[in-house]
Amino acid sequence: MSDLNVLVVDDFSTMRRIVKDVLRELGYPNVQEADDGNSALPMLQTGRFDMLITDWNMPGMPGLALLKAVRADPKLKGIPVLMLTAEAKREQIVEAAQAGVNGYLVKPFTPAALKEKLTKILQNQEARKP
Amino acid sequence: MSGAPATLPDGTLDATVKALILAYENGDSIALGNLLQQFTATKERTLRREVAQLAAVLQTGLDRLGQNEQLTRMARREMPSARARLQHVLKLTEDAAHRTLDLVERSRPAAERIRSRSSDLAAQIAHSAAAGADLPPHGTNAARVASELQATLGDCDEIQANLLEVLMTQGFQDLSGQIIRAVISLVEQLELALGQLGRICGDEVDVPTVQEAAGSGFGPVVPGVNEGLTHQQDIDSLMKDLGI
């Protein structure tokens, strides 16, 4: 079991539940939820989270705006962000990459794909440490 | 000789002309000038009112034309797109329901095997207990118990994997929900356009307020409606090209 603290942001409660259950299955039991960027940002600012998994298309603050807000905040900018979304246009993926996303997983996804993305992101984070 | 009236009489043109003639015949140039000025002003007011009415009719026509264009665009482009989106939702829900039923049906034999083995073992243990033997059964029976338990573990793994897939299958609700939201937004726009058209035609209708469409994306890829990279490998490849 990992002690990684993960925040899952999605406006659909069913999807938050699915991601949370899959993360538990993959060995990440410390997961909290938010339904859009506006509710996620204050949670992130508490400094309790090591990983952000966010949807793109949400009312209020969408995932891309949340990603940009995280990267613009000196205290949060180092948090790895995985975009988990049905948005799949090439220009959107490029835009997310330019905004500093660490991984991009398209819905519908498999537990194996989520595991692979998390592992890769965490390995890259580890490699960047001085 | 009677004097000409100082102001134009109300009523017919006849009365107006008579008043003007009277002023002329009396050589009352001041009264004649006043009456002519009043006559011109009255005609000008009438003309202005008619021009305003004509402009209003033209504006209504233009509004109606704009509304018709909006409705035509919806009928030609957006309604077929909405139909394709809803058909895709239908397919998503049908596929998810079938997948869930398949997984439940696939899990039932494994559950039945676990029940049968447990029942057999319970009977054996009860039989051994009745015969005064040690519990649990040992010797040749112990080897069988180990084998049965190993098979049970395999069945439990199979059920667990199926349950995880049932869980993943529920993701259709998110995808279909996003598509339905886009269609709701279109229906709201249609309602607004029809309401405005009704108002132009003089109907007493409340024009609805259109809610802002949720989110900022394009939503899930719907075949025939919008395009995107639907395979994760293509996205991984693009991310790699982008250095991520």
Are A94 and A62 in contact by the 8 Å Cβ rule? The answer is no
Distances (CA, A) of B87 to B27, B73, B175: 88, 21, 13
Percent of chain B at pLDDT exceeding 90 = 32
Query: What gap in Å lies between CA A109 and CA B168, rounded to an integer?
Result: 8
Q: Which residues in chain A are closer than 8 Å to B228, comparing Cβ atoms?
A: 87-90
Which range has the worst mean pLDDT, A27-31, A88-92, B208-212? Answer: B208-212
- For residue range B159-199, list pLDDT tens digits in order: 999 999 999 999 999 999 999 998 998 888 888 888 877 77
Q: Which of A54, A55, A104, A125 to mutate to test the interface with B (most CBs of B within 10 A)?
A: A104
Which range has the worst mean pLDDT, B9-13, B19-23, B124-128? Answer: B9-13
Q: How confident is the model at residue B56 (pLDDT cuts 50, 70, 90)?
A: confident
Percent of chain B at pLDDT exceeding 70 = 82
Query: What gap in Å lies between CA B236 and CA A38, rounded to an integer?
Result: 29
Are B85 and B183 in contact by the 8 Å Cβ rule? The answer is yes
- For residue range B67-125, list pLDDT tens digits in order: 677 778 777 888 888 899 999 999 999 999 999 999 999 999 999 999 999 998 888 88
Residue, of B112 and B225, whose pLDDT is higher: B112
B216: helix, coil or strand? coil
Q: Is the peptide bond before A108 cis (omega within 30 degrees of 0)?
A: yes
Are A106 and B217 in contact by the 8 Å Cβ rule? The answer is no
User: What's the confidence (pLDDT) of residue B195?
Assistant: 80
In this structure, what DSSP letter does residue A89 have?
Answer: -
Name every residue whose Cβ is closer than 8 Å to that of residue A11 and which is 6 or more positions away in sequence: A35, A36, A55, A57, A58, A59, B214, B215
Q: What is the rounded average pLDDT of the residues B204-231?
A: 74
Distances (CA, A) of B108 to B101, B105, B120, B161: 11, 5, 18, 13
Name every residue whose Cβ is closer than 8 Å to that of residue A130 and which is 6 or more positions away in sequence: none
CA–chain centroid gap for B53, Å, is 39
Tokens (6 digits) for B34: 């006043």
- Predicted TM-score (pTM) of this structure: 0.74
- For residue range B5-18, list pLDDT tens digits in order: 666 666 567 877 88
Are A74 and A28 in contact by the 8 Å Cβ rule? The answer is no
Contact A57 B172 (CB under 8 A): no
Q: Which of A59, A109, A111 sits opposite B215 (nearest CB)?
A: A59
Q: Is the pLDDT of residue B1 over 60?
A: no
Query: What gap in Å lies between CA A42 and CA A34, rounded to an integer?
Result: 10
How far is the alpha carbon of A104 from chain B, nearest alpha carbon, in Å?
7
User: What's the confidence (pLDDT) of residue A1?
Assistant: 86
Query: What gap in Å lies between CA B155 and CA B149, rounded to an integer?
Result: 10
Q: Is the pLDDT of residue A21 over 60?
A: yes
Query: What gap in Å lies between CA B85 and CA B92, rounded to an integer?
Result: 10
Q: How confident is the model at residue B41 (pLDDT cuts 50, 70, 90)?
A: confident
- For residue range A74-87, list pLDDT tens digits in order: 999 999 999 999 99
Q: Which of B216, B238, B240 to mutate to test the interface with A (most CBs of A within 10 A)?
A: B216
Q: How confident is the model at residue B215 (pLDDT cuts 50, 70, 90)?
A: low
Question: Within an 8 Å CB–CB cutoff, is residue A59 touching chain B?
Answer: yes
Query: What gap in Å lies between CA A83 and CA B35, rounded to an integer?
Result: 83
Q: Is the pLDDT of residue B137 over 60?
A: no
